[in-house]
Structure 1
Amino acid sequence: MHLTRFHDAACAGCLRPVLGPLIMAPVLQHFSPPGTQVDITCVPGYTPRYGLHTSGVIICTIQGTWSPIQLACEPKTCPSIEPPINGDMYLEDNVYQSTINFTCNKGYNLHGASSVVCQENATWSASSPKCKAVTCGPAPVPDNARIEYHVHRVSGGNVEFGTMGIYKCLPPMALIGNPRAECTSSGKWTEAPVCQFVTCPLPEPIEHGHMSSKSLNNYKDTVRYGCRLPFTIDGNPYVQCLETGQWSSKPSCRAPCTVNIARGRILYNGRKFWIEDLIPNQVYHNDQVYFYCLNAASSCGYTVPSRCTNGKLRIPECFEGKVFLMGDNG
């Protein structure tokens, strides 16, 4: 405190000044004579808000009052701080006594302070923390199985959160369970499947058909079905022994159709036929036949399609003659 005294017995002097909550003076006396100068400053954590009439001094006047305080204080500002990679931060301000809270994304752990405070010297109480990925040890590998990772493994056999792999059983084992392996946010792997022998019952025959073998019934064995002429196979001709111990869906043999008209022409497989020239008189399952029809005035012809469905072929109503539902079930 800088004190300058002017001795005058007629002067009353000044009582201790009221400085306000953000202003302080190093030394304050209960009574100061006129002319006393007192240095004032901001309390810790605050800094002068400089303006046109800022002054860090007050003076006791001969009237026994202190000169007006021309010092305004504002909180100090800490430097900006970046959120951690793979994390976030929550703050309202970066001035004195402000707090920043840090969090990490799922699968990452916080290393460092979870919160920092802006201190009176305008620095943060700690540096920004880091978010490090959760790691898992080597994935459990069941008997008779192997695992293929989607990424290269890191040194030490550990992998980061989110790393995935696929379990595969050694032939002829079947994989029972989830084939996908994943390092979770808890640092543990998802449950591993098991590998075991699986057999299927003898494959069932299909009506009007045949199959390549009846002795294959282990996991992933395949059997090929076929149909006796003139039947057509409907579905996948190959069935496979699944991990459930059941065969995949078997196909069916579908019957051809007879074009049961007395006369007329049809369009079949891109060719025009008189019905008597269609030898043999049959079209295969799922094939389409076009019939020639005339308009109401009998002045213009057009084709109408009809599809053979397992021995049934509908003759269009516009075609000459009756409408029939016909089939040849062989």
Structure 2
Amino acid sequence: MFRFAAVLLMLVAPSLLLIENSGQIGVKNMKDPKCPPRKKNFAALTGHICQRSCERRSCSKQRNCVCDGDCGLSCIPPGLSCPWPVMIENAETQMAQESNTFGDFMRVTCHPRFIMHNGQDVAMSRCQGDGKWSFTAPCEDSLNLSSVCKPPPEIENGFHESGPYKVGKTVTYECNYGYQLEGASTLLCQENEEWSHAAPTCHPVNCSQPPNIAHATLVAVHKPEHPVGTVIYYLCNKDFYLDGSERVVCLENGSWSQLPHCRARCPISAQRSRVIYNGRKLWINEIPAGLVHHGETVKFFCRSQNKTCSFEAESQCFDGVLKTPDCYDEPTYLQYHLFPKRVVSEIPAC
């Protein structure tokens, strides 16, 4: 009886802020500061379907922000309940409270001669946010129970697969977001009922100081190291074009996401001929400073082989360079001043 009371107290204590006298969910969007962060891949390992997280954003009007165990702060509908009664092989089930709503507990007691792999014959199961009872180890015949290892150590900022931990079975450790595993990620339960390796550790991953980019300013960055998920911003200097995203993120591998470039404007090489820019036929002095932005296109005029008509040849500005088409010939000073109507851009189109 005392052991059961202790188990119940340990399981119920983290949820006291979430359960009122009726077993219903508490005040809407009241976040529990003691709630653990959501474990990575927790649902895949346990079958528990985590609901939408409300750690950083609010729930809809139809849901409350409450702690859902290892799923962390989650959006749960009021009045959520789990199935009852529940039949478990080789065990009896009994409600620990008067209801079977979210956060309530069910006691699972093994039949005589049956025990769980951790050596207990009583366990508590909690009504989760997915409307299902949490997993408890099955009750097996103590006479036929396979050799097992003790539960592998819990690690800070990480987690491992759930049991049973039979001889020959392996368990895999993973780290939470922003942390990197150091040590053996997989442990084997050996015949001597000991684990093959010591538990690994999880260390925070940081990105080093972000690199400088030519013709750019790094916005308000003063720290020597930056944790995973840190966002920094680059701003290009005046008259430079941002090629890429201004937003750069510290990734889980400790590197920064793809950096942008600040591209220079391009001078137009044609001086005595009109060009087509932004859909308009313009002399160079009609284009501000005679420069176009990175990525923009300019159409030059070229003479046909028989010199009687002109056609367009397009070129694109790339980081300060606007290549003049091979077919373009710059008119001479005399051609431009003495015979302006014969300039290539002024003769009829082919």
TM-score after normalising by structure 1: 0.42
Between structure 1 and structure 2, the one with the greater Rg is: 1
Higher strand fraction (1 or 2): 1
TM-score after normalising by structure 2: 0.40
